[in-house]
Amino acid sequence: MNFLSNLTGSFALQAAGNATVAMIEAAYRHHGLDWRYINCEVRPEALGDAVRGARAMGWAGFNCSLPHKVAVISLLDGLGESASVMGAVNCAVRRDGRFIGENTDGKGFLKSLAEVIDPAGKRVLVFGAGGAARAVTVELALAGAAAITIVNRARERGADLVRLLNDHTAARTDLSAWDSTARVPDGVDILVNCTSIGLFPNVEAALDLDTASLRPGLVVADIVPSPPRTELIQAAEARGCIVVDGLGMLVNQGVISIKYWTGIDADATVMRRTVEAIYG
């Protein structure tokens, strides 16, 4: 193989879990692609050298994880639309010899959400205001969501995200304080948990949310990938909601990254089976 131009990987302070590597390499194998995806542990002060190295060796692209998602921007040659609004890149793609920064987190979420609902014109309630919430809400807004309410423990962080969405997108966005048990207001079509509540090993943690306000037919998405059946997903299912788990986002951001790097539409079923085996 033309080894270096078929290289992709992840730059992170701590190497990404084996799940991402296994999932992407399973797709490469399944499609007969002679490509590799490798984890690289990169310290913040070495990020410039890492990107210059990838550029010098002709890598097809790479993912960026914490804490590099913002710092990498000044080392790239341009940004896609949503990455530019979010101010964060999780996927660099070589196009005509230039590295362009994209963000596939929110796009991966939208792809898994699209299996059950089109967010255009819908009212969305989002818990959380961190990096993942930023990616998810910017894509929801760019996909035409009519209104987004952010609920976040730290008020200032929530207010920053509301400002960003109102300044850069057409979605009407507001902040709702989370100082007591939250309820899902009437008229909400989609609820998304973008907090890390319920993430392994704190699997019994649950949102401070009145589950009696989860009405049948409401779409409830949880982006926590491990475990996929969080307390929220289980409560929503028991109330007759339509649920979307966090593995969908994980798999689909990988599908989109592979499409950017190789041009191939990767088989999401093969990738999902791989991460399901790892996350039990």
Residue 65 binds ligand NDP, judged by CB under 6 A = no
Considering beta carbons, is residue 2 or 180 the nearer one to ligand NDP? 180
Residue 119 binds ligand NDP, judged by CB under 6 A = no
Q: In the window 205-224, what residues touch ligand NDP (CB under 6 A)?
A: 223-224
Rounded Cα–Cα distance for residues 72 and 126 (Å): 27
Stretch that binds ligand NDP, among 36-44, 125-133, 213-221, 257-265 (CB under 6 A): 125-133
Residue 153 binds ligand NDP, judged by CB under 6 A = yes
Rounding to the nearest 10 degrees, give the CA dihedral for residues 86, 17, 55, 101: -10
Considering beta carbons, is residue 6 or 234 the nearer one to ligand NDP? 234
The CA-atom distances, in angstroms, between 101 and each of 33, 43, 69, 89 are 23, 19, 10, 5
Considering beta carbons, is residue 61 or 128 the nearer one to ligand NDP? 128
The CA-atom distances, in angstroms, between 45 and each of 16, 88, 89, 128 are 19, 18, 18, 29
Shortest distance, position 119 Cβ to ligand NDP, whole Å = 17
Q: Is 259 assigned a catalytic role? A: no
Q: For strand 91-95 and strand 61-64, is the pairing parallel, antiparallel, or unpaired?
A: antiparallel
Structure tokens at 85: 């609004």
Residue 196 binds ligand NDP, judged by CB under 6 A = yes
Would you give the DSSP letter of residue 172? E
Shortest distance, position 199 Cβ to ligand NDP, whole Å = 4
Report yes or no: 200 and 226 within 8 Å, Cβ to Cβ. Answer: yes
Residue 64 binds ligand NDP, judged by CB under 6 A = no
Stretch that binds ligand NDP, among 22-30, 76-84, 189-197, 229-237 (CB under 6 A): 189-197
Report yes or no: 114 and 131 within 8 Å, Cβ to Cβ. Answer: no
Q: Of 89, 118, 123, 120, which is closest to residue 106 (Cα–Cα)?
A: 89
Stretch that binds ligand NDP, among 18-26, 129-137, 140-148, 179-187 (CB under 6 A): 129-137
Element spanning 232, H or E: helix 231-238
Shortest distance, position 109 Cβ to ligand NDP, whole Å = 7
Residue 83 binds ligand NDP, judged by CB under 6 A = no
Q: For strand 91-95 and strand 98-102, is the pairing parallel, antiparallel, or unpaired?
A: antiparallel
Q: In the window 226-265, what residues touch ligand NDP (CB under 6 A)?
A: 246, 249-250, 253
When binding is defined by CB under 6 A, the residue of 16, 85, 132, 148 that contacts ligand NDP is 132
Residue 152 binds ligand NDP, judged by CB under 6 A = yes
CA–CA–CA angle 87, 93, 97 (5° rounding): 120
- The residues annotated as belonging to the active site are 69
The residues of the shown chain that bind ligand NDP, judged by CB under 6 A, are 105, 128-133, 152-154, 157, 194-197, 199, 223-225, 246, 249-250, 253
